[in-house]
Every structure is written in structure tokens, then in C-alpha cells.
Amino acid sequence: MTNYHNEVVLELDETTYHAHPALSSTGARKLLTAPREFQWYRDHPQPHKAAFDMGTAAHGLVLGIGAPTVVIPASVLATNGAASTNAAKDFIEAAYAAGQTPVKQDVFDEVNAMAESILRHPEAKRLLEQDGTAEASVFATDPETGVELRARFDFLPNFMQDNPWALDFKTSAKRADGESFGKTCAQLGYDVQQEHYLHTYAIAAGDASMRMKFIVVETSAPYLVAVHELSYEFGEIGAARAKKARQLFAQWKDEPGIWDGYESDPLPLQPPLWHIYMNSELLQ
């Protein structure tokens, strides 16, 4: 395993990147959910999942990099269109082994429609036309904890140009508007992801001025697109949580035994506000 030290690596293949033991943003978010979930994630590499292939294919098409997408031939599918036959499974397995992303024709058509929608969006198109590199890997050592960090930007701009923006590309089965995506950010920890990325880059490049935007495209027609920048408050929360994850990782490195799951709340659980509201008449 190559020991990268505070550097940006522009042409590192995805498999090598994901095999590196440094703390990633995904690992950070799992640590914050429950240390035992993080440990399971580290000890049990995740197999390919068809549910993620649409996002992978869309990334590759929009960014022009990554695993090429191949269409699963209709001739190997079951009569109901499912990829459940032995022939379909063999094709899918061979595609993954060859570094390809296998999808059915309808998914391929949707991915192309999503990509076209993004390129019709003026701001998204302008951001993607920046001078920079797609799928740029960054490695750094956190000076406070000594934890090795890694981040893989969907797009890392040349910071010497005017008004550069790092980009993260998200496909969403939910709405891409600000209110909906704000909830998604909080639920899935995209604020932690952003701050983990920017912190790692700041150490590696010696530049803490890099900023980041999210390009979000809906996965159902008409494939609406939005571009979002997280607020200062969102960034503060993400930075604090990313710091907590680094501290937990440092502890995990020293004590790699079985960690706890969810923490027990010493106080009784309170009903959500929506539950109180929905049942307010019954309480009168």
C-alpha cells in the first residue's frame, strides 16, 4: 500500500483509493452513527449493489471518467425483465470483474436523460466546465489527532483560476430543491462529507480557501437539477462532527476491539412534534 503524505493524487484508480486504510468521509459518518457500524464496515467490504449502479453510471457519464457503463442484453433477462437468470448474473459478474457498471436498458436511458438535464442547467454546466480534474484523490494527516485522512472529490478545480469551486455530484430519488436537499444533507451527513473533504484538502494543499457546491439531479423524469452551496451554519456543524469522527477514529486505532452500538439516552424518549400535532385532538 502506497503511503501518501499530504498530497493530491490526480490519476489514482478507484479500487486503489478505496483500499487505502485512511479515514474517509463515509467512515467518518458511520463512526458518528455508531462505532460498531463503522467497525463492521471496515471488516466487511461491501459487494456491488444494483441500487447504486444508476448513481455510478450517472457520475461516469457526467464527469467523463470512471467505470464505463454497459447495457445488460435483453436476451439474457427473464421474461419479466428481471436480471435474475443465470445468464444475466454471469454477464453482470463479468462486467464488474472488467471494471464496468452493468445496467438494464431503461436505467441506461434514464442516466443519459439525467446527464442531458445537468448539461442544460446553466450553472451546473458552467461549474463542470471549470479547469480541473474529475475524481481527484487527496491524502493528509490530521495534525491534531495524527489520523490519516483521504477524500475523493468528484471534481477538484484548478485553484489558480478565478472563483474555483470543488464539486460533489448527487443523484436523488427525492426532490432536488433547497428545502428537500437540506433535509437530505442533515440526514445523510453531507455536511460532514463536505467538511471532511475541505479539511483534508486544506492540509494537503496548504490552502483552506477551497469551497464546495453540490450538483443534485433527480432520478425520475423530468430529472430536475439544482446547485446548492451549504451555509456557514451548516459548515460549522459539519466541521464539528467531522472533528468528532477524527477523534473517534484515533480512539478506534488504539482500541480496535468490539465497540458499542447506539448510545442509550438517559432521559425518556419524547414524541416527535409531528406526532404530538397529529394526535392533539385526542389529548384534549
- 157 falls within a domain: yes
* DSSP letter, residue 84: -
Express each pLDDT in 220-250 by its tens digit.
Answer: 999 999 999 999 999 999 999 999 999 999 9
- 33 falls within a domain: yes
Contact by Cβ (8 Å): 24, 17: no
- 155 falls within a domain: yes
- 284 falls within a domain: no
d(CA 100, CA 62): 16
- 200 falls within a domain: yes
Residue linked to cell 453531507:
190
- 222 falls within a domain: yes
The pairing of beta strand 166-172 with beta strand 101-103? unpaired
- 115 falls within a domain: yes
What's the CATH number where 175 sits? 3.90.320.10
Q: How many distinct structural domains can be found in the chain?
A: 1
Q: How many CB atoms lie within 10 A of CB 69?
A: 21
Express each pLDDT in 14-73 by its tens digit.
Answer: 888 988 999 999 999 999 998 889 988 888 877 776 667 777 788 877 887 767 888 999
Express each pLDDT in 194-214 by its tens digit.
Answer: 999 999 999 999 989 999 999
* pTM summary value: 0.87
d(CA 99, CA 155): 21
Band (pLDDT 50/70/90 cuts) for residue 258 is low
User: Which residues form the domain of 244?
Assistant: 7-42+104-258
Residue 94 C-alpha from the chain's centroid? 25
